[in-house]
Amino acid sequence: MPKPTIYYIRHGQTDWNAAGRFQGSQDIPLNDTGRQQAAQAGSILKDLLARDARHPDHLAFVASPLGRTRSTMELVRHQLALPLGDYDLDDRLHEIRFGQWEGFTLAEQEAAHPDIFAARLINKWDLPPPGGESYASVQVRMRDWADGLQTDTVAVAHGGTARALMVALGVDTVAGVSDLPIQQGAVYVFRDGGMETYS
């Protein structure tokens, strides 16, 4: 039996994204650019579903519980002419938790914890920031989430969970995704053991 297709969307930009600050668990809202990106992702998804002869009513919709992902999901659903709030939340889609580094830039993290920062440059996947979680642990929960899907699904989540999902599904490697930019305003389609990006 083929695995369900995943239409994956990263949330739109926030002011912290624009400033290069790590968000993790912090509930930072979308800015104007982020709202435009969310609507753009919805428009791209609408075109993809039409191309695939898929009606949005036949898909599952699920988001990370953070506000920036919920707002993105509702803007996506608006583009699809669906009721805004009719979707599920799943904490397994929550962004990687950066612990004590949340709210700080990369340079500030390096200054505050130079030894840990240097070690993570060598092994970013397995070493968590202070009080945070590792990408390896996020990979486990994303694998668990993907394994439980029953139907083709639209998921709105985060950059960190996107990287973890790529590794969990075997479409990329730890080395390939560790510093891979995850686009906002794009749709990543995981299907038939591969991944395509539409932007």
For 162-182, write each residue's pLDDT tens digit.
Answer: 999 999 999 999 999 998 999
Element counts in the chain: helices (H) and strands (E): 8, 6
* Burial bucket for residue 26 (CB in 10 Å: 0-12, 13-18, 19+): middle
Average pLDDT, the chain: 96
What are the structure tokens assigned to 32, written together? 């104007």
Nearest to 9 by CA among 39, 51, 52, 54: 39
- CA dihedral 152→156→157→159, nearest 10 degrees, is 90
Say whether 156 sits in a helix, a strand or coil: strand
Asked whether 14 and 86 are in contact (CB, 8 A), the reply is no
* Burial bucket for residue 17 (CB in 10 Å: 0-12, 13-18, 19+): buried
Asked whether 15 and 35 are in contact (CB, 8 A), the reply is no
Cα distance between the two ends of the chain: 29
Q: Apex CA 82: angle with CA 77 and CA 84, to 5°?
A: 60
pTM above 0.85, yes or no: yes
Residue 2 pLDDT grade (very low, low, confident, very high; cuts 50, 70, 90): confident
The CA distance from 176 to 141, in Å, is 20
Domains in the chain with CATH codes: 6-198 (3.40.50.1240)
pLDDT value, residue 7: 98
Positions marked catalytic = 11, 95
For 42-84, write each residue's pLDDT tens digit.
Answer: 999 999 999 999 999 999 999 999 999 999 999 999 999 999 9
What are the structure tokens assigned to 114, written together? 């130079």
